[in-house]
Amino acid sequence: MDNSPDYTKYSENELVDVINNMDAARYPERFANAQSELKSRREVKADCEKPALPPIVLTPQEKRRKALVERTSILLISSILISLFIQPMFIPSRWWGEHVLPSTFIVTLLATLALIKELFNRGAYYQLIKRKAPRSYLGLLFFPLLFGGFAWYIIAFLLPVLLHGVADNTRYQKQASYQIVEGRKYCRSRIKVSQLDEFEDTHLCISFNSLRHAKYEQGRAIIRGETSIFGLKVASVQFL
């Protein structure tokens, strides 16, 4: 029976002496235990001696920029959430719709390039990249998608509504064909209107009470509202 001593109680120097003076052929198990304990001690010591990374310290300029980004993000998210539940009866003009995708691409590209420039200015985020933090790489992939989603929604829906509010408006009235279509989560009552070629979309979100006046699944209706170069804001739909 090999009565091997408890090498966990030995110091590092004592373990070195034991290994150097032991007959490995005669006591192979003791020799292996001593080597294993010494290797474990040195690995723990190497981990403890690794230089600590400097803490992330934001400069006053970076703090202001971070606060601005956070407030802007909250404002954008809030505006989108509010617009999902309060859908104005607004149809963007066709020329506006033709420029949505190119404008979204340009805005997303500029925002992504600005972000990359900011990341490599050796700021706080750059320190995260040096640490190889997973969230830093996820951010590089996620931010362009986030910018693209925000840019598309704002350019396609919110911006024309806001511009229509400050532009010159004229009264609009036209008789057109309609068809009741399936509702969505944010709009339970929807109709598709034809013969509105000057506008991008022909789907209208109307109130349930207005839809109750429709006698048929499809028919004719009079569309009334205000129009501008940015689109048509529908005030009422009269079903015939």
Task: For 185-198, write each residue's pLDDT tens digit.
Answer: 667 777 888 777 77
Residue from 181, 156, 169 nearest 225 by CA: 169
Q: Report whether 47 contacts 31 (CB < 8 A).
A: no
Q: Does 226 have pLDDT greater than 70? A: yes
Mean pLDDT calculated for residue range 11-38: 81
Q: Does 1 have pLDDT greater than 50? A: no
Give the pair of three-digit tokens for residue 163. Answer: 């511009």
- Other CB atoms within 10 A of residue 59 CB: 10
By the 10 Å C-beta count (0-12 exposed, 13-18 middle, 19+ buried), 216 is classed as exposed
The pLDDT value recorded for residue 167 is 83
As a whole number, the mean pLDDT across the chain is 76
| pTM for the predicted model, two decimal places | 0.54
Domain ranges (residues) in the chain = 7-48, 60-166, 170-239
Mean pLDDT calculated for residue range 169-183: 83
Q: Put the strands of the sheet holding 170-181 in their side by side order.
A: 90-92, 231-239, 218-228, 170-181, 190-193, 203-205
Residues 25-63: pLDDT tens digits? 887 888 888 888 888 877 777 766 655 555 656 667 767
- The one-letter amino acid code at 91 reads I
